[in-house]
Structure 1
């Protein structure tokens, strides 16, 4: 049986496949990411990473000390920030498209529904 994390990862991957087929959708996601960088600061990530599990890794005190002293700390946090904001932005965009009136957006939304239908059927077969 799949964990919630696995199901969430699969859904995000499906959103990414759908949204990034279209360069204008990819641009919208990129704009959303950049507009949110002030909300999720690199400083706030340093605190989160000390207290939580991020990107599948559990960091020990030794890891944190080594990371804090490393030359690539800002790049690392920027990458983590980007992944978090990308996930949030894709979910927001999917929700926006689910309420869309534009026929092009509706087509994209219908494709998204196919992925949801497939995921539901896979879950039913697993039960």
Structure 2
């Protein structure tokens, strides 16, 4: 049976499971996303086209994973960082769902902050990029 996240659904599911089960230093994560390479990659990926059903399923699952973390603004360095974490989780799920449709350098830039804070699924996806 095909995944609701498309042909790369196993990677999306692994990442979202990792998010829920890995103790992440979200302050460190936020600091690592301020890099211009990450910002440029997020912007480029935002323009990617993909099937609406996969987009909807991926967005909902990533948003639910973010909500399950129970983060508050007090957990992060700045007042807008809560939205940044949510956006990065959604973008990472999109990158994983789209796989090779996203250039390897953009995939790596977006997944690197997750890998750096301990997500094995992000490390595996970067290794395959």
TM bracket (short chain): 0.3 to 0.5
Q: Which structure has the highest helix share of the two?
A: 1
The TM-score, its normalising length taken from structure 2, stands at 0.41
Larger radius of gyration: 1
